[in-house]
A and B are shown apart, each in its own frame.
Chain A
Amino acid sequence: EPEVTQTPSHQVTQMGQEVILRCVPISNHLYFYWYRQILGQKVEFLVSFYNNEISEKSEIFDDQFSVERPDGSNFTLKIRSTKLEDSAMYFCASRPGRGDEKLFFGSGTQLSVL
């Protein structure tokens, strides 16, 4: 069964450093998402991406965040200057297209900012 894959599974970084989290969505899916989950808390929407542009973003997704689909397969989340409060599990998700709202999640990247 096709899966959303994410790399790395764990990322440790120093406060103020830039990180890039990588995702490969399921190949025929058209909508891509980033969510984050602080330990023990709910899954929070960050951003959705369709047709090579951001379609929705939350108030969490400020100027420090950006997303990119640099080629036909990868979907990345960049945090420009990490803060301690960015420490969380970051999940990538994708879904097929209009009329199919089922989200398929990757296994996540655990980001620790020291």
Chain B
Amino acid sequence: GENVEQHPSTLSVQEGDSAVIKCTYSDSASNYFPWYKQELGKRPQLIIDIRSNVGEKKDQRIAVTLNKTAKHFSLHITETQPEDSAVYFCAAPLKTSYDKVIFGPGTSLSVIP
């Protein structure tokens, strides 16, 4: 079935600490895994993505790791800052069609100064 799950649903960290959000998907044929950040009242914006032929990708303080066997991928944010506070969504396309990208339920991250 079509299922993308995220954990935790809410996360509070102290400024400077790391945050990790995990996403699991059900479709083993999915091969593209993005993470979106949505600030309050704004549009979702892509922050990092990974393809199934690599296990990890980094972009400054943000990294994504992928475990295809276990069908999960994780977002890692290091040295968190208050402006990292937002809702983060993972997403995965379905094997039947890469035109159908399903979003996870979201993780609300609060970075406490």
Contact = CB atoms under 8 A, between A and B. Distances in A.
Interface of A: 31, 33, 35, 41-45, 48, 50, 55-56, 58, 91, 101-108
A45 B103 contact: yes
B106 A42 contact: yes
B43 A56 contact: no
Interface in B26-58: 32, 34, 36, 38, 42-46, 49
Contact of A102 (B49, B99, B106): B49
Given A31-B99, A45-B101, A105 B89 contact: no
Contact of B98 (A101, A104, A105): A101
A56 B97 contact: yes
Contacts, number: 54
Interface string B94-109: 0001111111111000
Interface residues of B, number: 22
Nearest to B33: A101
Contact of B103 (A42, A106, A107, A108): A42
Contacts of A42: 89, 103-106
A39 to B, nearest CB: 10
A101 B103 contact: no
Interface of B: 32, 34, 36, 38, 42-46, 49, 89, 93, 97-106
A56 B101 CA distance: 10
A113 to B, nearest CB: 19
A106 B99 contact: no
B87 to A, nearest CB: 9
Contacts of B42: 107
B99 A56 contact: yes
Contacts of A43: 36, 38, 44, 89, 103, 106
Contacts of A35: 103
